[in-house]
Amino acid sequence: MDLEKLKQWMEMAQKYQNGNFWESIFDQYNNTTEQTHPGNKMPSQPSKASKRFPLVDIYLTDTQIMVIVELPGLQKEEVQLSISGNKLLVKGVSKQPFVSGSPYLTERQYGEFERLIELPEPADHKDIQAKFEGGLLFVTYKRRYTRHENIPIL
């Protein structure tokens, strides 16, 4: 492929993807902040806050929904949790541990964070149970819609 065709393809891709084409292609790399020691020959990547911090898993059983939020190094007092319909908001502050020396590799995110998680079913705050254990926040609630119900047609 010659350079001119590649340039045309890039322009077309940028137009159709609103300038985020390469970020979406290499999303796994853009969600990591890496800095290297000045003596290391590998270049540093620019700092970029993760779009997916903290990491979340959601599980469905026949009777309940469980959300697991990964919050390494945090205590439950450093995390706030709120809900509105089927939107769960997790926010807090991740503090950088004081370590002497210059960083060689930095991938963890520090500072204030906020993640809005779309739940599979709405919940009311009084139905939710939250437990923090070993850097994981477990949020569970009973399912309201456990089966299909027939509706008579008049």
Report pLDDT digits (tens) over 69-112.
Answer: 999 989 999 999 999 989 999 999 988 887 788 888 888 888 89
The closest of 154, 87, 74 to 118, measured between CA atoms, is: 87
Domains of the chain (ranges, CATH numbers):
49-142 (2.60.40.790)
Q: Is the pTM of this model over 0.85?
A: no
Phi, psi at 28, each rounded to 5°:
-60, -30
The more confidently predicted of residues 2 and 113 is 113
Q: For residue 6, what pLDDT is reported?
A: 73
